[in-house]
A and B are shown apart, each in its own frame.
Chain A
Amino acid sequence: EIVLAQSPGTLSLSPGERATLSCRASQSVSSTYLAWYQQKPGQAPRLLIYGASSRATGIPDRFSGSGSGADFTLTISRLEPEDVAVYYCQHYGNSPPEHTFGQGTKLEIK
């Protein structure tokens, strides 16, 4: 079973700064099956990044994903107040099909 560990637990930055969120898998995974979601307070999660680095429809280019093997990163350049949310990485395992989520990184804007 794949375990995803996200760091840091909480990130507090100022508007305009760059945020770097980490997701580490317990073993090497295919980047095809690594995604990132944003969950704003009181809302359902929203898909941000799929295939480790492809932005979902309507996602601003301030959001970017990278990584391979067991280490993946979500970068948010030029933070805006609306980016306050919890960010989750997720892995899809296909035999049998199952999803695993990281524990989340809470992003605060000072």
Chain B
Amino acid sequence: QVQLVQSGAEVKKPGASVKVSCKASGYTFTSDQMHWVRQAPGQGLEWMGIINPSSGSTTYAQKLQGRVTMTRDTSTSTVYMVLNSLRSEDTAVYYCAKGLIVAVAWGQGTLVTVSS
């Protein structure tokens, strides 16, 4: 079955960067796109961007342009999300989610806490 396993929780200081990984299994890694979605404490879902694991092409939410980078490693079926210049409002649970039009499978989430 499809599984998306994300890296563990992170605590970062303001201005730092964070890298979250999402390892896929149970399907052909390059056959479907991967989104990143985040959720601040007690808030709703915010779409961050999408990566095509086959080509590596990306599209980012306008709000995060210039601060977020999504990459993939086809040899390990893993996608990565790097968020730079962290601020307190970036504190959230970050999810990877498989699919294009809809997110049919989700990772377990990675809590990123930004605090001085």
- Expressed in whole angstroms, the Cα–Cα distance for A60 and B107 within the complex equals 22
For A35, what are the chain B residues with a Cβ–Cβ distance below 8 Å? Answer: 101-102
For A104, what are the chain B residues with a Cβ–Cβ distance below 8 Å? Answer: 44-45
Total A-B Cβ pairs within 8 A: 59
Interface of A is mostly: strand
Check if B106 is an interface residue, CB within 8 A of chain A: yes
Chain B: interface residue total (CB-CB under 8 A): 22
Given contacts A96-B59, A99-B47, A103-B44, contact A50 B106 (CB under 8 A): no
Check if A98 is an interface residue, CB within 8 A of chain B: yes
Which of B50, B99, B103, B108 has the largest count of A CB atoms less than 10 A from its CB?
B103
Q: When the two chains form their complex, are residues A101 and B47 in contact, meaning their CB atoms are under 8 A apart?
A: yes
- Expressed in whole angstroms, the Cα–Cα distance for A60 and B44 within the complex equals 24
Given contacts A88-B44, A99-B35, contact A33 B103 (CB under 8 A): no
Name the CB-closest residue of B to A103.
B44
Q: When the two chains form their complex, are residues A44 and B95 in contact, meaning their CB atoms are under 8 A apart?
A: yes
Residue positions of B touching A, CB distance < 8 A: 33, 35, 37, 44-47, 50, 59, 61, 95, 97, 99-104, 106-109
Residue positions of A touching B, CB distance < 8 A: 32-33, 35, 37, 39, 44-47, 50, 56, 86, 88, 90, 92, 96-104
